[in-house]
Structure 1
Amino acid sequence: MKKFSLLLTGLLTLFTVGTASTTTAHASSAVNNYISSQNIKPAKVTSALWGGFPKNAYRHGVGKPEGVVVHETANPNSTIYNEIAYMKSHYRSAFVHSFVDASHIINIANTKYLAWGVGFPGNSRFVQFEQVEVHSKSAFAHEISNAAWYTAYLLHQYGLKPNDAAYDGKGTVWSHGSVAKHLGGSDHTDPVGYYATTGKRYFGQSYKMSDFYQLVHSYYYDNFNGSASKPSSSATATELDKVTYTKTTATGKLSSQYTNYRLYNHVKNAYANTSKYSWSSVKATAGKTVYINNKGVKDKAGTTWYRFTFSTAKNAKQYWAYANAVDVD
């Protein structure tokens, strides 16, 4: 079990259950190419929030994560459930938001609050998750896929774009080693060593953080922000997303990020004829109350959308928006 001696600032993360489509790896990496050729799909995100973790805000003036830190447990003999149990028992020393292995992405604390995984000042800036060491070619590929997709998922959730921090310490995708190098607060270098030795053991080639970043970049643009490359010849312009709907009754408020998204008359790309509306047309402001009556989750991307009105009037106009536009009560 990795034991940190790190400074305070903490939170862990849990999210709505999501699943992603496969993506095409663009890096010349044996691991990324294997993930693509085997059509490996990332695991669903499992929520397992524990109420015992501290709830401290991210740094003043920002108030939300500015990137994602990737860790590795440095324990070859542990399981994801043992690691989670250990962290709950030792959270006063250190904790992260989530854990990833070959089959799971488990969020154990709310990412709205910081975690204690890399010391000062990184704790107050980043969502953080641990990877558990795995011991086969397939397991390593699945774990890397899960970790890269989850990183892309977190970036999308907080309105961040992929940017490799390894070079100048100013990006959104960080290893623990990059945090230590550019920001201080720790002397750890994970997951660099684990990636290198495990990649070489099972794929004959060291796996690097630059390879991981390329996979994050691909997942982000393929699954969350449209395609990063031209569609294949088999894709059609009329391809629509399948959505699972759930009737929901809740109130909420427009979030501080609502202007990053748009209003629609249906879930985006779920119907052939979808109309957009401007926020100004509904006199929107952050904190404005909305009345939610339906939820849609895209089957492939796992993204969540809400249908709501701005009044309780019987014939009030209904709108759809991406979940991050709304803070649900």
Structure 2
Amino acid sequence: MHKVVLTALAALGVVGILGVSNTTTANASSKVNDYISNKNIKPAKVTKSIWNGFPKNKYRHGKAKPEGVVIHETANPSSTIYNEIAYMKRNYNNAFVHSFVDGSRIINIANTDYLAWGVGFPGNARFVQFEQVEVHSKSAFAHEVANAAWYTAYLLNKYNLKPNDAAYDGKGTVWSHGSVASHLGGSSHTDPVGYYSATGKKYFGQKYTMAAFYQMVKKYYNGMNVKHTKLVNATYTSVDKQAKLSSKYTKYYLYNHVKGANKNASRQSWSKISPKVGKTYYIDMVAKKSSGTTWYRIKTSKNTTSKTRYWVYSGNLTGVKDVPTETTATATSASASSNAASSSSSSASDSSVSASSSSN
């Protein structure tokens, strides 16, 4: 029974290590971080195991618009990642997080586009949240830190957020549960500060801190946003076409340049083109990448200035066709006017005949 209670509290992210300072003063160097670098530890890949039973509520600024990431720790030394996930599915009405991390796995169980219930009000409506399961060896702890830091960077990158340690002013994007409690309220928990401190000291002879963890997050984030891969070539052609926005657009991103073909390409907010499925956008250039994909440069109207043009993958658009030219429209109008005049003349002639017939 005692184990069940501990698992329950851990899965809800409500245990924490009480009485431990949430200070994140950085060490001059971190033995854990050095170990990760020296051993060239590679973070685990994200395993998606989304359970549809979790509720889907939007963040305070809307779907897929979190403002940061909260790092939790279960505070249960005897649980496993699968025990925690199973318990959370059974008790999600009380609380739940988006993902779980241990020394060898990153398992995403709830859609991060929607909020989770792990830190209370107001944090739940702002942050993606994940739990770390306690591990019990030097290697496992280093791997878990690497997994957690990389996953935090991955989430920041996914949602176009930049790393910013929230511990100092409560205005950042990287949060411990303790920082949320300290700056926003909603709970009194301090995880994962106590777990990091105790485990770092036990296996590395030095307390591990959230400040050191944040340095790992930045390292991974910067690596994600430095293009080490060789850019592909693209052939650009000016066109005058139009197309409608596909319902698939939410799966892709808007860019200022063709992704993978320009070193300055970066994601842009869809709000810049007022996205709406079925809405017509105008294409003034097509890029054919040597990798085989096609990209379109779009604008919201025929006369939009170059500053409001953006690149999208062709899968974002449907029904691509030529824009009707002004010449065609004028000719059609002239033809219609000519037909109307001819019809009018014919009617006048008929009236004349009718009058003549009548006089006869």
Cα contact 1:47–1:108 (8 A) shared by 2: yes
AA in 1 matched with 2:215: Q
Q: Aligned to 1:287, which of 259, 264, 276?
A: 276
AA in 2 matched with 1:226: V
Cα contact 2:8–2:87 (8 A) shared by 1: no
Deviations 1:128-149, CA, capped at 9 Å, x for gaps: 0000000000000000000000
Which residue in 2 is equivalent to 1:262? 256
Summarize the alignment of residues 110-149 of structure 1 with structure 2, pairs less than 5 Å apart.
Answer: 110-149=111-150
**Alpha-carbon distance between aligned partners in 1 of 2:123 and 2:276, rounded to the nearest angstrom:** 29
Which residue in 1 is equivalent to 2:192? 191
Cα contact 1:256–1:286 (8 A) shared by 2: no
- TM-score, structure 2 normalization: 0.64
2:315 pairs with 1:308 = yes
Unaligned runs of 5+ in 2: 1-6, 15-26, 233-245, 280-290, 294-311, 323-360
Deviations 1:216-274, CA, capped at 9 Å, x for gaps: 01100112x228xxxxxxxxx8x5279xxxxxxxx544459955x3342xx516xxx88
**Alpha-carbon distance between aligned partners in 2 of 1:288 and 1:122, rounded to the nearest angstrom:** 31
**Displacement of 1:313:** 4.7
Q: Aligned to 1:240, which of 217, 230, 233?
A: 230
Which residue in 2 is equivalent to 1:324? none
2:66 pairs with 1:68 = no
**Alpha-carbon distance between aligned partners in 1 of 2:278 and 2:176, rounded to the nearest angstrom:** 39
**Displacement of 1:307:** 5.3
**Alpha-carbon distance between aligned partners in 1 of 2:59 and 2:251, rounded to the nearest angstrom:** 15
Cα contact 2:101–2:147 (8 A) shared by 1: yes
**Alpha-carbon distance between aligned partners in 2 of 1:252 and 1:37, rounded to the nearest angstrom:** 46
1:168 match: secondary structure: coil
2:69 match: secondary structure: strand
Which residue in 2 is equivalent to 1:226? 226
Which residue in 1 is equivalent to 2:309? none
Which residue in 1 is equivalent to 2:59? 58
**Alpha-carbon distance between aligned partners in 2 of 1:64 and 1:257, rounded to the nearest angstrom:** 15
Unaligned runs of 5+ in 1: 7-25, 228-236, 243-250, 297-304, 316-329
**Alpha-carbon distance between aligned partners in 2 of 1:197 and 1:258, rounded to the nearest angstrom:** 42
Which residue in 1 is equivalent to 2:48? 47
Report the CA distance shift for 1:63/1:105 in structure 2 as closer, same or farther (over 3 A): closer
Deviations 1:23-78, CA, capped at 9 Å, x for gaps: xxx97210001000001001010000001111111115786210000000000001
Which residue in 1 is equivalent to 2:209? 208
AA in 2 matched with 1:268: G
AA in 1 matched with 2:226: G
Report the CA distance shift for 1:61/1:226 in structure 2 as closer, same or farther (over 3 A): same
**Alpha-carbon distance between aligned partners in 2 of 1:81 and 1:277, rounded to the nearest angstrom:** 37
Which residue in 2 is equivalent to 1:80? 81
AA in 1 matched with 2:153: A
Cα contact 1:295–1:306 (8 A) shared by 2: no
**Alpha-carbon distance between aligned partners in 2 of 1:278 and 1:168, rounded to the nearest angstrom:** 28
Which is bigger in relative contact order (C-alpha 8 A, separation at least 6)?
A: 1
Which residue in 2 is equivalent to 1:172? 173
Residue identity (%): 64
AA in 1 matched with 2:99: S
2:315 match: secondary structure: strand
Computing the radius of gyration over CA atoms, which structure comes out larger, 1 or 2?
Answer: 2
AA in 1 matched with 2:123: G
Aligned residues between the structures: 259
2:160 pairs with 1:159 = yes
**Alpha-carbon distance between aligned partners in 1 of 2:251 and 2:48, rounded to the nearest angstrom:** 24
Cα contact 1:155–1:161 (8 A) shared by 2: yes
Summarize the alignment of residues 21-32 of structure 1 with structure 2, pairs less than 5 Å apart.
Answer: 28-32=29-33
Which residue in 2 is equivalent to 1:230? none
**Alpha-carbon distance between aligned partners in 2 of 1:95 and 1:136, rounded to the nearest angstrom:** 27
**Displacement of 1:277:** 11
**Alpha-carbon distance between aligned partners in 2 of 1:35 and 1:170, rounded to the nearest angstrom:** 28
